[in-house]
Amino acid sequence: MPTFPLILGVYSLKKMSEIGLGDSMTKRETLSYWYVRQLAQDTIEVQPLNIYHVPSGVKQEIPIKEFLKHYNPEPQYYKSNTVPALQSLAEKIAKGQELFAKGELDEAEKQFLKSLMIDDQSVKANYGLGQVYTEKKEFDKLKKVLNTLLNLDLAFAQENREQFNSFGITLRKNKCFDESIRFYSRALELNAMDEHVYFNMARAHYEKGAVDECMNNLNIALAVNPDFVEARKFLDYCQRNPAPPAAG
């Protein structure tokens, strides 16, 4: 049995469109390229390629019968264009992450910006750039990156969980409490049953000095998971120390 998701490569889609009106109407054939993964035995996921040949934009799930009827494999296009472009993107992101870990923020920023020139919706590159701007206290630039991430549902998907958590913690530790709360609130719009997000939002509220909001989020976290030990301990602490701490 295959392990899903399974990368199928690049496929093309031909469509006929009508241009003009009446006697001047003409038909034109358009050809688009799509990055394709098989999610299950009968479900295919397609995502458009951008001008740099990498998957970017909204993903769509379609039944495999419909996919086989309309899409055609493009193995040479995939090998010659998409594979090297994806490799280049991955290398730039990895280099940016390495430089960030070393504290070389300016050089890390350059690598993430180069990545975004290939795919401006890259979740990993946007998270990396957001962490750089948070550490550098460049809040106007951070706001732009945060707005991009808030509009990318994929940024909060399970496959990006590690970077999602890391970015939220970076925001909080750098006292960007409002930004952190806004970030976690967006995550809860997509998954309202994630006790760890409520816990992290509680910590941001607490460090901001909003103990009531902190306790409210801890109670919700415990309602979702009554065995959440850290949330129980934090709530007990807040109940014993109701006075809000100094912000930050």
Last residue of a domain, one of 22, 43, 73: 73
| Strands of 60-63's sheet in order across | 60-63, 43-48, 26-40, 6-19, 71-73
Q: Please name the residue that has the structure tokens 């397609």.
A: 46
- Which pLDDT band holds residue 25 (cuts at 50, 70, 90)? low
Query: Has residue 183 been placed in a domain?
Result: no
Q: Can you give the pTM of this predicted structure?
A: 0.83
Both 64 and 12 in one domain: the answer is yes
Both 97 and 62 in one domain: the answer is no
Q: Which tens digit of pLDDT belongs to each residue from 92-137?
A: 999 999 999 999 999 999 999 999 999 999 999 999 999 999 999 9
* Between 39 and 16, the higher pLDDT residue: 39
Query: Do the beta carbons of residue 19 and residue 27 sit within 8 Å?
Result: yes
Both 118 and 157 in one domain: the answer is yes
Average pLDDT, the chain: 92
Query: Has residue 186 been placed in a domain?
Result: no
Share of the chain above pLDDT 70, in %: 94
Q: Which tens digit of pLDDT belongs to each residue from 173-202?
A: 889 999 999 999 999 998 999 999 999 999
Give the E-state strand segments of the chain in sequence order.
Answer: 6-19, 26-40, 43-48, 60-63, 71-73
Query: Has residue 35 been placed in a domain?
Result: yes
Query: Do the beta carbons of residue 60 and residue 54 sit within 8 Å?
Result: no
Q: Please name the residue that has the structure tokens 């264009």.
A: 81
Tell me phi and psi for residue 28, to 5 degrees.
Answer: -130, 140
Query: Has residue 108 been placed in a domain?
Result: yes
